[in-house]
Structure 1
Amino acid sequence: MPEQITRRDWLLAAIRREPGPITTGRAEQLLATTSWSCHRNTARKDLRALAARGALWAMDDDGRRTYFPATTPRTGGAL
């Protein structure tokens, strides 16, 4: 039986293919292309969970939180 991918694992793979930082809105857009829920709150929770797992790191810029894959070098005010 093939292994099923979770929504968060799929989102992480999609984020790793993106060229720049990821916002909640962009994560919502990425999820909208799937059969999974694409509500803004779901995207926000998924990003926070991936950051808590260590797969992403977050940075606040002018009150806006953006996320980067953990393999991206950190600069500035990274959390």
Structure 2
Amino acid sequence: MPDQTTRRAWLLTAIQRESGPITTQRAAQLLATTTWSCHRNTARKELRSLSQRGLLRPVDVDGRRTYHPARGHR
């Protein structure tokens, strides 16, 4: 059976392996290594969706948003 991993699930797993905060740029770089088509806006929407589901925690510093894995989801 083919792997049914979604882009969003793959991104969450990749973020959980990272050691620091994730920016939209970093998320786009991670997704660029996959077969899924990804642009900066797509990465931003995926991060926002993961945050709304409680899987990522957004942090705003100096007007820039970064994301961290939510507690208990690492």
TM-score, normalised via structure 2 length: 0.92
Provide structure 1 residue ranges, at least 5 long, that are not aligned to the other structure. Answer: 73-79
Q: TM-score scaled to structure 1, two decimals?
A: 0.86
Deviates more, 1:63-72 or 1:45-54: 63-72
Residue by residue over 1:13-69, the C-alpha shift from the partner in whole angstroms, topping out at 9 and shown as x without a partner, is: 000000000000000000000011220000000000000010000010000000000
Work out the CA distance in 1 between the residues paired with 2:42 and 2:34. 13
CA RMSD of aligned residues (A): 1.2
* Deviant stretches of 4+, over 4 Å: none
Q: Alpha-carbon deviation of 1:3?
A: 4.6
SS in 2 for 1:36: coil
Structure 2 unaligned spans of 5+:
none
Instruction: State the partner residue of 1:6.
Output: 6
Structure 2 equivalent of residue 16 of structure 1 = 16
Q: Which residue of 2 aligns with 1:42?
A: 42
> Partner letter of residue 31 of structure 2?
L
Identity %, equivalent residues? 71
Aligned to 2:31: 31
By how many angstroms is 1:71 displaced?
2.3
The letter for the 1-side match of 2:10 is: W
Which one has a bigger Cα radius of gyration? 1
Q: How many residues align?
A: 72
